[in-house]
Amino acid sequence: DIQMTQSPSSLSASVGDRVTITCQASQDISNYLNWYQQKPGKAPKLLIYDASNLETGVPSRFSGSGSGTDFTFTISSLQPEDIATYYCQQYDNLALTFGGGTKVEIK
């Protein structure tokens, strides 16, 4: 199975800061990588699909990049409503795998 290593596990940043989260796959997954946001007590929400495509209705301060094994998720200017846990997720023909999550807090 493909393993996803996400880092950091948590971070604290100020409003307006640029925030970056990375996700590394244990083998080449091309661009089959999605990013989700989960707020406490809520279901996850899809933000980015296929590594760099912004889901409809998602603010443009969210972006993703990468291919192969190394991926990056960026919030260009952190807002108070972005406080959440973020997960990467890969897919191949036989399974889906989530990263361990990154909890983002306001400093």
Distance CA 98, CA 35 (A): 9
**Least Å from the CB of residue 28 to another protein:** 16
**Least Å from the CB of residue 84 to another protein:** 13
User: How many C-beta neighbours within 10 Å does residue 88 have?
Assistant: 29
Residue appearing with tokens 């991926």: 71
Among 16, 81, 95, 107, binds another protein (CB under 8 A): 95
Distance CA 15, CA 50 (A): 28
CB contact at 8 A, 11 and 20 = no
Decide if residue 40 touches another protein (CB under 8 A). no
Among 7, 28, 77, 96, binds another protein (CB under 8 A): 96
Decide if residue 89 touches another protein (CB under 8 A). yes
Q: Which is nearer to another protein, 57 or 80 (CB)?
A: 57
| Phi-psi map region of 29: left, alpha, beta (phi>0 left; psi -120 to 50 alpha) | alpha
Among 14, 16, 43, 81, binds another protein (CB under 8 A): 43
For residues 1-20, which are near another protein according to CB under 8 A? Answer: 1
Decide if residue 93 touches another protein (CB under 8 A). yes
The structure tokens listed for 95 are: 């399974």
